[in-house]
Amino acid sequence: MPASFDYAVIRIVPRVERQEFINAGVVVFCLEKRYLDARIHLDPARLKALWPEVDIDLVRHHLEAVVRICAGDPSAGPIAKLPQRERFHWLVSARSTILQPSPVHTGLCDETDSILDRLAKELLAT
């Protein structure tokens, strides 16, 4: 039976005033299936084209924290201890940092892993 899910794209925004970004992750949350997970994909060459002085390792570290927060990994800090719904809402809340979520979108799915894989392929592939 199909379940509703929410998702957001995690974007890297080097200079907010220019409104340029690259997609670097996707987060999927399905309350009915108790599912929260993320995929990340960082393309260093594309990011360097927008931001030549970027610290790729630091950006990658922050992206990997998104995955750890979704998993509830204690190494991700106190946010990772929150219930899934609260972790998702924290991850997709508006920010003015270089990592920013897109608006939240909704859909229906039968399999949560397959929807995350499909969204990652569609939204993060270069």
Give the CB-side neighbour count of residue 72, counting CA atoms within 13 A.
Answer: 9
Residues 6+ apart with CB under 8 A from 11: 21, 22, 23, 24, 99, 100, 101, 102
pLDDT at 68 (0 to 100): 97
Q: Return the domain boundaries, the chain.
A: 3-124
pTM of the model: 0.92
pLDDT at 126 (0 to 100): 59
What is the distance between the alpha carbons of residues 28 and 38, in angstroms, rounded to a whole number?
Answer: 6
Model confidence over 15-67: pLDDT tens digits?
Answer: 878 888 999 999 999 999 999 999 999 999 999 998 899 999 999 999 999 99
The residue behind tokens 């979108």 is 105
Model confidence over 96-116: pLDDT tens digits?
Answer: 788 999 999 999 988 887 999
Nearest alpha-carbon partner for 93 in 83, 104, 84: 104
